[in-house]
Amino acid sequence: MKISTRGRYATRMLLDLAQHSQGGFVALKDIAERQGISKKYLEQIIPLLRKAGVLRTNRGFQGGYMLSRPPAAISVGEILRITEGSLAPVACLEEESGNCARSPFCPTLPVWEGLQRVITEYLDGISLADLMANAAQGDDYMI
């Protein structure tokens, strides 16, 4: 499993919104400047986040973007599932692929299921609020 630029940028964008919204909408150009991400690239990510109910938009004067829920209610795992589609480490565990014909007798399946469980628990256990707290403390990583 490799997290794409889309997943990483979506996480950075939503974290930026959590840090800078102060109850109002934030202009996309401001997010793009702070994060060093192309505004056009962020515009491609926005529909995914809006459709998933993570992002609110407002057009016109003082328009922009804001989180639709508190930062504590949005996990990194949710963001990555929205942008990446699946966190499954192998194709046979992806919901779209259906069950593998070998799964009833596959000796390696428990390894992949365990890895998926660890990945899911870890990423679902980190919220935008946690990332904000780490940034405020100057932490470079999550434990």
Read off the pLDDT of residues 63-121 as tens digits, 9 standing for 90 and up.
Answer: 899 999 999 999 999 999 999 988 888 888 887 656 677 878 889 989 999 999 999 99
The angle, 0 to 180 degrees and rounded to 10, between the axes of the packed helices 76-84 and 5-20 is 140
- Would you state the pLDDT for residue 141? 54
According to DSSP, the β-strands at 64-67 and 55-58 are: antiparallel
Q: How far apart are CA 74 and CA 53, in angstroms?
A: 10
Q: What's the Cα-to-Cα distance from 43 to each of 18, 36, 125, rounded to whole Å?
A: 18, 14, 27
pTM summary value:
0.88
Domain assignments of the chain as residue spans, ordered by start: 5-86+127-137
Q: How far apart are CA 41 and CA 10, in angstroms?
A: 10
5-86+127-137 is classed CATH 3.90.550.10: no
Q: What is the mean pLDDT of the chain?
A: 90
- Would you state the pLDDT for residue 143? 45
